[in-house]
């Protein structure tokens, strides 16, 4: 499912006007991640998936630990996917003046991966990205694995 919100907005001519957007995006997901499927990480679709979420060795090692703990390569690890649209801001007259993205993975044991320069961990479950006068070049896609413990 995909939702798109749009509206017509009139802006006063000849002056700057601050705009602020704040929302919690919808999520997608599945009952199991393909990342546990043997061979998936090395096939073209798997490599594209890994690149989309900027996965790293630590993220994949975390998933592999859950698979070993479950005692089966067929371990079911549900995933949550979030698509966050930013690049529409790149075509405005000026950069985004003050940008903040907060990602909460819900539980400390949940592996999370997403593409974002300057992301920092601010709590056991939350990550934050901040930029000033910023023009985004890509939309971040966020992947959270939610193992059943």
Residue 13 to residue 17: CA distance in whole angstroms: 10
How sure is the predictor about 112, in pLDDT bands with cuts at 50, 70 and 90? very high
pTM greater than the 0.85 cutoff: no
Whether residue 9 is contained in a domain is answered as no
pLDDT digit string (tens) for 21-65?
776 777 888 888 999 988 999 999 999 999 999 999 999 999 998
pLDDT digit string (tens) for 65-87?
888 888 766 667 899 999 887 78
Task: Print the domain residue range for 46.
Answer: 29-145
Whether residue 82 is contained in a domain is answered as yes
Whether residue 99 is contained in a domain is answered as yes
Whether residue 15 is contained in a domain is answered as no
Positive or negative, the Cα torsion across 107, 112, 116, 120?
Answer: positive
Answer yes or no: are the C-beta atoms of 38 and 127 closer than 8 Å. Answer: no
Res 1 pLDDT > 60: no
Domain count, the chain: 1
How sure is the predictor about 113, in pLDDT bands with cuts at 50, 70 and 90? very high
Q: With pLDDT > 90 as the criterion, what percentage of the chain qualifies?
A: 46
SS (H, E, C) the chain: CCCCCCCCCCCCCCCCCCCCCCCCCCCEEECCCHHHCCCHHHCHHHHHHHHHCCCCHHHHHHHHHHHHHHCCCCCCCCEEEEECCCHHHHHCCCCEEEEEEEEECCCCCCCEEECCCCCEECCCCEEEEEEEEECCCCCCEEEEECCCC
């Amino acid at each position: 499912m995909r939702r798109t919100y749009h509206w017509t907005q009139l802006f006063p001519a000849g002056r700057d006007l601050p705009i602020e957007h704040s929302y919690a995006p919808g999520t997608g997901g599945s009952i199991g991640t393909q990342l546990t499927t043997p061979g998936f990480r090395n096939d073209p679709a798997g490599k594209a998936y890994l690149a989309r979420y900027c996965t790293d060795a630590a993220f994949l090692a975390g998933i592999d630990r859950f698979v070993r703990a479950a005692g089966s390569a067929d371990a079911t690890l549900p995933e949550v996917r979030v698509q966050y649209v930013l690049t529409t801001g790149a075509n405005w007259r000026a950069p985004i003046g003050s940008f903040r993205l907060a990602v909460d993975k819900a539980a400390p044991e949940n592996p999370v991966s997403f593409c974002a320069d300057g992301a920092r961990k601010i709590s056991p479950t939350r990550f934050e990205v901040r930029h000033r006068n910023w023009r985004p070049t890509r939309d971040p896609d966020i992947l959270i694995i939610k193992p059943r413990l």
